[in-house]
Structure 1
Amino acid sequence: MSAYLTRYPQEAGLGDEDPATVLDRYHTPDYELVNDGVRLDRQRLLDHVRPARRRATGLRVEVEQALVDGDQVAARYRLIAEMRRGGTITTEIYMFGELAADGRLRRVTQATRGIPG
């Protein structure tokens, strides 16, 4: 789980590879993310990732806890983004999810909060 938390944001947010290819590597076709009560399907997630590539110059993830129990996962971590126009955005994330049989994420529910810089 820690590897996913550190690799996926880097590959999706800063990589040269097509964001859809990156998304599909880590998530099932029916992947659903509920972030702070807002449901994001595959297309809405891609719509979020593409502009983020233009705004961020660096991403770092600090994993506090990551647990896997069968097909259930949970994590507490911080995503730190260095912005092109200056400044840093730090977000604390509490994530709970379900894995598919092939190890990719099928569903995630998460709550976030911004950490003042």
Structure 2
Amino acid sequence: MTHRFTIAQAITPLFDPSVDLQDAVERHFSPSFRRRADDGQWGGRDELAASMAQLREAMASATIEVHDELIDDHLYADRHTVRVVMKDGSVLRTEVYVFARHDADGRFQEIREATVLLLGDRAPHADDASH
């Protein structure tokens, strides 16, 4: 059976500025990856990398905590929270509900998510903290 990445394994490196962003995206997300968030728009790996690069510029640190998780063959679901401390000292805390599929290599092929902002302002790119 192929190893299937969890969301924590996939997104923790995206928030870590010591990790090459493009390598992290390629390792955890399929070339055909697509993601739909609260705005209803679909984006791929390039959009994910671009939004995370922008968020990395503005943030000081981030932590991910998974509260519920289910993996069934290629299907994945979880509920997690992301806490982002911005360089200006403000804090964003988001609860995220994820429904996803893995590809044959165990990378995320599709993610559909819904987010609830628990703390902070809905500033530009604040929803990027939900990845």
- TM-score, reference length from structure 1: 0.90
Deviation at 1:4, TM superposition (A): 3.4
- Of 13, 16, 24, the residue aligned with 2:26 is 24
Q: Which amino acid aligns with 2:41?
A: V
Matches within 5 A, 1:44-55: 44-55=47-58
- Of 107, 113, 127, the residue aligned with 1:104 is 107
Aligned residue-pair number: 116
Q: Which amino acid aligns with 1:59?
A: A
Q: Provide the secondary structure at the position in 2 that maps to 1:31.
A: strand
Query: Which shifted more, 6-15 or 107-116?
Result: 6-15
Aligned twin of 1:38: 41
Matches within 5 A, 1:57-76: 57-76=60-79
The RMSD of aligned alpha carbons is: 1.7
Q: Which runs of 5+ in 2 are unaligned?
A: 121-131
Of all paired residues, the percent bearing the same amino acid is 23
Counterparts in 2 of 1:15 and 1:4: CA distance versus 1, 3 Å: farther
Q: Which has the higher strand share?
A: 1
CA deviation map 1:37-70 (0-9, x unaligned): 1211111111101111111111111111010011
- Asked whether 1:12 is paired with 2:7, we answer no
Q: Which amino acid aligns with 2:29?
A: H
8 Å Cα contact 1:66-1:76 kept in structure 2: yes
8 Å Cα contact 2:91-2:119 kept in structure 1: no
Aligned twin of 2:85: 82
Deviation at 1:8, TM superposition (A): 3.1
- TM-score, reference length from structure 2: 0.81
Query: Which shifted more, 17-26 or 81-90?
Result: 17-26
Q: Which runs of 5+ in 1 are unaligned?
A: none
Q: Which amino acid aligns with 1:27?
A: F
8 Å Cα contact 1:98-1:107 kept in structure 2: yes
